[in-house]
Structures are given as C-alpha cells and as structure tokens.
C-alpha cells in the first residue's frame, strides 16, 4: 500500500476524488429531488383525501334516510379507487423520471471518473516501481557492504605470496621432507 503525506497528495488522486465527489453529489441531488417530488405528491394526496372525507362526512350527516346514507357511501367508492390508481401512476412516473435522470447523470460522470481512476492506477504503478527500485538499490548496497571485506580478503595476496591465507598461528607446519 502506498502512503501519502498530507502535503503530497498526487494530482491524479486529487482529480479522481473530485470526480467521485461530483458524481456522488449529482446522484444524491437527483435522488433527493425524486424524494422531494414523492413528498409533495403525498402532501397533495393527503390534502385531497382530507377535503373529500370532510365533504363525505357532511353529506352523510345531512342524509335523512338510511338509503341516502348508503347511497352517499357507495358513491365514494369509485372516486377513491380512481384516485388510488392515479396516485400509483404518479409514483410510477416519478420513479421512472428519477431513474432516467440517474442514468443520464451516470453517463455524464462515468467517463471522467474512469479516466481519473486509470490515472490513479498509473500513478500507483509508477510509484510502486520507484519504491521497488529504491528498495532493490538499498538491499544491493547493504549486500555489497557486507560482502566487500570478504571479496577484498580473497583478492589480496597474503604475506606468504600465495593467494591462500596463512595457517593460523600456533598450528603445526607440515614437515618438509629431508633431502636424501
């Protein structure tokens, strides 16, 4: 994972975040507009229902016979069913228009968001390669530092003139054969 300090936010990442925020803000705005329209529809329906309920109640109170009372009640059934169907149609229209608006918003923002995401990916790859090179160079330097004394010891001729290291002190020398 690459880390960035506060002072070092890559331009590609900043651009991508701005594109994402813009996209999400526009989507949220469209969703809230749809919710607002549904709320307005519900308020309008509630007002209409209250007015009609008051009118129906007045008509029922003014009815003199049970037949008139049933007639008033029965006359309300058909308009209520039609109003429910109209309410459902309005809800469907609002939902469809919100869906269209969300699709248009996505079509507007997705190309830019995709472009900025690709730029961020390229930046991550570039920085990853740079960090890998740095780590490799540090490891190579540490390895060279550790192996340098060994390599120098191998390449330097010893006091006895050979490339072999002298025997340790106190070690017995091989006996030389006597000439006969």
pLDDT at site 101? 95
Task: Give 3's pLDDT tier (boundaries 50, 70, 90).
Answer: low
From CA 1, how far away is CA 11, in angstroms rounded? Answer: 18
For the cut 60, the answer to whether the pLDDT of residue 175 exceeds it is: no
For the cut 70, the answer to whether the pLDDT of residue 179 exceeds it is: no
For the cut 80, the answer to whether the pLDDT of residue 96 exceeds it is: yes
The larger pLDDT score, comparing residue 129 to residue 154, is at 129
Residue 2 near residue 128, CB atoms below 8 Å? yes
Task: Give 161's pLDDT tier (boundaries 50, 70, 90).
Answer: low
Instruction: Give the tens place of pLDDT for each residue, 50-67.
Output: 998 888 888 888 888 888
The larger pLDDT score, comparing residue 89 to residue 67, is at 89
Closest C-alpha among 93, 91, 90, 84 to residue 49? 84
The overall average pLDDT reported for the chain is 84
pLDDT at site 162? 58
Task: Provide the token pair at 144.
Answer: 């060279």
Helix axes 11-62 and 66-155, enclosed angle (nearest 10): 170
Task: Provide the token pair at 148.
Answer: 């340098």
Task: Provide the token pair at 141.
Answer: 């330097």
Helices and strands (H, E) in the chain, number of each type: 2, 0
Task: Give 154's pLDDT tier (boundaries 50, 70, 90).
Answer: confident
Instruction: Give the tens place of pLDDT for each residue, 36-48.
Output: 999 999 999 999 9
From CA 31, how far away is CA 33, in angstroms rounded? Answer: 5
CA distances, 100 to each of 1, 66, 123, 156 (Å): 38, 52, 35, 82
The larger pLDDT score, comparing residue 9 to residue 90, is at 90
Whole-prediction pTM: 0.60
For the cut 90, the answer to whether the pLDDT of residue 34 exceeds it is: yes
Task: Give 172's pLDDT tier (boundaries 50, 70, 90).
Answer: low
Closest C-alpha among 7, 27, 171 to residue 108? 27
Percent of the chain with pLDDT over 90: 46
Residue 124 near residue 2, CB atoms below 8 Å? yes
């Amino acid at each position: 994972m690459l880390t960035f300090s506060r002072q070092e936010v890559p331009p590609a990442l900043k651009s991508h975040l701005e594109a994402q925020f813009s996209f999400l803000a526009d989507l949220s705005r469209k969703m809230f507009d749809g919710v607002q329209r549904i709320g307005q529809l519900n308020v309008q329906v509630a007002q209409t229902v209250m007015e009609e309920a008051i009118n129906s109640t007045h008509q029922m109170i003014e009815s003199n016979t049970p037949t008139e009372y049933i007639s008033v009640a029965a006359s309300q059934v058909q308009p209520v069913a039609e109003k429910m169907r109209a309410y459902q149609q309005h809800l469907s229209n609002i939902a469809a228009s919100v869906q269209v608006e969300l699709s248009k918003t996505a079509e507007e923002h997705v190309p830019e968001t995709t472009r900025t995401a690709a730029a961020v990916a390229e930046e991550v790859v570039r920085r990853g390669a740079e960090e890998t090179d740095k780590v490799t160079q540090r490891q190579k330097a540490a390895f060279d530092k550790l192996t340098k004394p060994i390599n120098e010891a191998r390449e330097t001729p010893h006091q006895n003139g050979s490339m072999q290291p002298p025997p340790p002190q106190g070690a017995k020398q091989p006996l030389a054969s006597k000439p006969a």
